[in-house]
Amino acid sequence: MTATPTRTALPDREEFCSAMAQLATGVAVVTTGSPDGPVGCTANAVLSLSTEPPSVLVSLASNGRTVQRASAHGGFAVNILGWHQRDLMHRFARLPAAERFQGVAYRDEAGCPALEDTAATVVCRLDQAPVALDHTLLIGRVLWTAQDPAARALVLYQRRQHAVAL
């Protein structure tokens, strides 16, 4: 027997976040270059937008440094984290921007920091950046990808971290 779902006509922020926590999602760090050095933040609103041409969409807060620098730079990298990188999820979400890259291994790819040892990295040229409410949708044309097929994926579900492996 399954429980009857709780229904809310117009949920408050907490109720909305609780409902959305039922959607399992991967975790990525979106990075870009800037004259002041690398910039990045944790994101879970990432999707494959198209295969022809290969394109991705990332939704980031419009007032964040990463989206502003990616727009100015004209490109970004989506670094899809593996289970072994869950510390990076917190680092890029919680630390002050100036401390996020301290001690983090990365290489420059098309002017974007590509984090080392990720489950996958997708480097993009910015194609469009439309604003949707309080977020900006970075739409990027894929320049190249790299992946580790053996990596265990880092997934958020019900506000907890989980590892997914085949």
Of 99, 95, 150, the C-alpha closest to 120 is 150
Q: pLDDT tens-digit profile of 23-77?
A: 889 999 999 999 999 999 999 999 999 999 999 999 999 999 999 999 999 999 9
Asked whether the predicted pLDDT for residue 133 surpasses 70, the reply is yes
Of 117, 113, 98, 99, the C-alpha closest to 33 is 113
How far does the chain reach from its first CA to its final CA, in angstroms?
30
What does R_g of the chain's alpha carbons equal in angstroms?
A: 16
pLDDT score, position 39: 96
Asked whether the predicted pLDDT for residue 1 surpasses 70, the reply is no
Euclidean distance between CA atoms 106 and 36, whole angstroms: 16
Q: Of 15-19, 140-144, 148-152, which has the strongest mean pLDDT?
A: 140-144
Amino acid code (one letter) for 41 = C
Asked whether the predicted pLDDT for residue 80 surpasses 70, the reply is yes
Euclidean distance between CA atoms 160 and 136, whole angstroms: 26
DSSP letter, residue 105: -
- Tokens 């990616």 locate to 70
What integer best gives the mean pLDDT of the chain? 92
pTM of model > 0.85: yes
Euclidean distance between CA atoms 149 and 161, whole angstroms: 20
Asked whether the predicted pLDDT for residue 2 surpasses 70, the reply is no
Of 120, 115, 114, 30, the C-alpha closest to 71 is 30
- Give the number of other Cβ atoms within 10 Å of residue 35's Cβ: 7
